[in-house]
Structure 1
Amino acid sequence: MIGQAGQDGKATGQPRIVVAGAGSIGCFVGGMLARGVQDVTVLVRPYMAQEISQQGIQLTDFSGLDEELSPDAVSLATDPETLGAADIILVTVKSGATGEMAAQIASYAHKDAIIVSLQNGIQNADTLRRALPERDVRAGMVPFNVVAMGGGRFHRGTSGDILIEKGRGHVARTLSVRDMAVHEVKEIVPIQWGKLLINLNNALNALSDLPLRNQIMDARWRRLMADQMAEAISVLDAAEIETTNPVTTAIPMRLVPKILRLPTWAFKAVASAMLAIDPTARSSMWEDLSKGRMTEIAELQGVIVALGQQHGVTTPINTRVAALIRQAEADKAGSPALQPEQVSGA
């Protein structure tokens, strides 16, 4: 039964939450939960613990949210032993670190802890399930992007509610706080595939070195986005994989490329109802390149390319985009600031 004991061992009636792997998404989600007076601990690297301990966490977003949490308002841990007290574990590490986090959960977390993957890509929840058999592991989908602005500030640049797989324990109710809603759904895999299709733009945004809004309002970039997504949809069709639009169920994913190809005046009218985008928002992949980190290109374009190879569907655009990102990773010079024609090879 969740919610049995607090940090001092006394009954609280509140589930204990550990955000495991606090990068941009983890720190924002953890900060929002702490702001909502949830019993939450954020498991961080020592450098992040030092930054937050000195400066606290500042939460800002596209809608005007601007709130500072003092250092003592956020419970931090650097030792994975803190997983042992968790009733709910939110996994927010990069995909490449999922195996390592699974091993830590196996070593420290109790068997009844609910584990929710709030990660990009399709395969992370399955990776956790394979490493943690007989545990309650659920996939989740975070629709918004968050960029670490420095100085303890984490900025949410786009809109949307978090979705997780339905199960025991009223997890969504526990995680829902003011300005951050969480919902449970029966079928999350089609939603994850829909999110992957949308996230294919992460790489284009990283290569463009433009704010998301500027990039999306440029018809040349939208055409490239549409061509890349249409190519990926052909792959998923061949693999008989269903997708659901994670932004709005009113517009099927296969119609999104057509919307992206609309003239800008018409696109604005449609897109305004689909997604709110902050003028400063950029993709997480842009942030990775700017900080010299490895990206999650293998979990996005890489998945489409591999699936295309399995089903005999060529993927020239996704293949080229993946190669350009890997070159930028190797160069460690941030975004190459390419034009759409340079990305497409036209």
Structure 2
Amino acid sequence: MGEAQGRSNTSRIVVAGAGSIGCFVGGLLARGGHDVTLLLRAGTAEEITQNGLTLTDFGDLDVALAPDRFAMSVDPACLADADIVLVTVKSGATEEMAAQIVEHAPEDAVVVSLQNGVANAALLRELLLGWDVRAGMVPFNVVWVGGGRFHRGTSGDILIERGLEHVGRQLNVPDLTVHEHAELAAVQWGKLLINLNNALNALSGLPLQAQLGDRRWRRLMAAQMEEALMVLRVADVAFQNPVAKVPMGMVPRILRLRTWAFRLVAKTMLSIDPNARSSMWEDLEKGRGTEIDELQGKIVRLARQANVAAPINAGISELIRDVETLGGGSPKLTAQEVQARLRAFEAPADG
């Protein structure tokens, strides 16, 4: 198959499980000329029907799309006409979405996982035997502001696994850069390492920029990442920085720099909106389950398999689960308060 064998430059795309990332990506694809259907919840469809879809970011992006620029459906039968299915559900809903794809989508559709974590594409392949399933990595975060507005708070280009068709080329539209990558697993592990900060940001309640501007939080981030890097090395898992050319092993050292030096280095690696927060913060604020099991939880399970300890990641996991149980959104802890709670897990906060 492939574009050279007849597939159009414009495709029928179904965004399966359109939330923050799905609505943002789907909206830009619709503006770029693709036939896009958002498969979403009824409440989300009602919000967008009433307000349209507004896409903004840390730069000067400000796009308003009327609801007639794309289709919306709460019925998975909309998968029937898909050329490309972009899976954007939370990790816990992957199996359910795979069943809907099997039931409704054509078998020659390309299925791309644009989900957090490192295991979703493998699970989709297991459940979609014979299908063209691609792993993907979305480096930026998107916050659902409300009123149909979705705001991209950080920079980066989407990467998807290379395959027979030039899917990346088809998905590459203005303000949404997509590249194909031959070895995506290492990139996904690198993204997981960076996403370990999602939990810290959720516990702090601070915007990402303010959190990163506090050396106490950065030291905690560095200790957590160093522990995870140790686990991956012991388990012989390859990883690669998904957003910069700086080796992942250097990132903890950069995080521990004095703030003025950190800002000089960081601004060459990543752009962050002053109001951006992590998706896990958004989950806590909206009373949704988080993906802590696919982030810190993944490191803890890998550590057990490798017979090494990961007390910092284990402690952060427990803190998030406690907050989920209590409800009420972010606990707005300080870095010192998090460190104090981690002592129960015998975890040094600064490696």
Same fold (TM over 0.5): yes
Q: Which residue of 1 aligns with 2:323?
A: 328
| Cα distance in 1 for residues equivalent to 2:95 and 2:132 | 16
| Cα distance in 1 for residues equivalent to 2:182 and 2:335 | 39
C-alpha displacement at 1:35, in angstroms?
Answer: 1.3
| Cα distance in 1 for residues equivalent to 2:33 and 2:294 | 34
Alignment map for 1:106-117 (pairs within 5 Å): 106-117=102-113
Structure 1 position 182 matched with structure 2 position 167: no
| Cα distance in 2 for residues equivalent to 1:25 and 1:84 | 22
| Cα distance in 1 for residues equivalent to 2:105 and 2:69 | 24
C-alpha displacement at 1:77, in angstroms?
Answer: 1.3
Q: Which amino acid aligns with 1:86?
A: A
Q: Which residue of 1 aligns with 2:80?
A: 84
Deviations 1:287-330 (A, max 9, x none): 00000000000000000011111112111111111101001101
- Which residue, out of 238, 242, 252, partners 2:247? 252
| Cα distance in 1 for residues equivalent to 2:284 and 2:266 | 27
C-alpha displacement at 1:13, in angstroms?
Answer: 6.5
Q: Which residue of 2 aligns with 1:6?
A: none
- Which residue, out of 157, 161, 169, partners 1:161? 157
| Cα distance in 2 for residues equivalent to 1:229 and 1:170 | 34
| Cα distance in 1 for residues equivalent to 2:315 and 2:105 | 41
C-alpha displacement at 1:37, in angstroms?
Answer: 1.7
Structure 1 position 62 matched with structure 2 position 93: no
TM-score, normalised with respect to structure 2: 0.94
Query: How many percent of aligned residue pairs carry the same amino acid?
Result: 62
List structure 1 segments (4+ residues) > 3 angstroms apart after TM superposition: none
| Cα distance in 2 for residues equivalent to 1:134 and 1:175 | 23
**Structure 1 pair 252/228, CA: closer, same or farther in 2 (3 Å)?**
same
Q: Which residue of 2 aligns with 1:44?
A: 40
**Structure 1 pair 212/244, CA: closer, same or farther in 2 (3 Å)?**
same
- Which residue, out of 79, 96, 101, partners 2:97? 101
Structure 1 position 151 matched with structure 2 position 158: no
Structure 1 position 32 matched with structure 2 position 28: yes
| Cα distance in 1 for residues equivalent to 2:201 and 2:254 | 18
C-alpha displacement at 1:12, in angstroms?
Answer: 7.1
**Structure 1 pair 116/13, CA: closer, same or farther in 2 (3 Å)?**
closer
Structure 1 position 225 matched with structure 2 position 221: yes
Structure 1 position 131 matched with structure 2 position 164: no
| Cα distance in 2 for residues equivalent to 1:168 and 1:142 | 21
3-state DSSP class of the match of 1:143?
Answer: coil
| Cα distance in 2 for residues equivalent to 1:217 and 1:295 | 25
| Cα distance in 1 for residues equivalent to 2:150 and 2:21 | 8
Q: Bigger CA drift: 311-320 or 229-238?
A: 311-320
TM-score, normalised with respect to structure 1: 0.96
Q: Which residue of 2 aligns with 1:304?
A: 299
Q: Bigger CA drift: 312-321 or 93-102?
A: 312-321
Q: Which residue of 1 aligns with 2:346?
A: none
Alignment coverage as a number of residue pairs: 338
C-alpha displacement at 1:14, in angstroms?
Answer: 2.8
- Alignment RMSD, CA only? 1.3
Kept after mapping to 1: 8 A contact 2:186/2:239 = yes
C-alpha displacement at 1:72, in angstroms?
Answer: 1.3
| Cα distance in 1 for residues equivalent to 2:319 and 2:299 | 16
3-state DSSP class of the match of 2:261?
Answer: helix
Q: Which residue of 2 aligns with 1:289?
A: 284
Kept after mapping to 2: 8 A contact 1:234/1:313 = no
C-alpha displacement at 1:15, in angstroms?
Answer: 1.9
- Which residue, out of 273, 277, 283, partners 1:278? 273
C-alpha displacement at 1:344, in angstroms?
Answer: 2.0
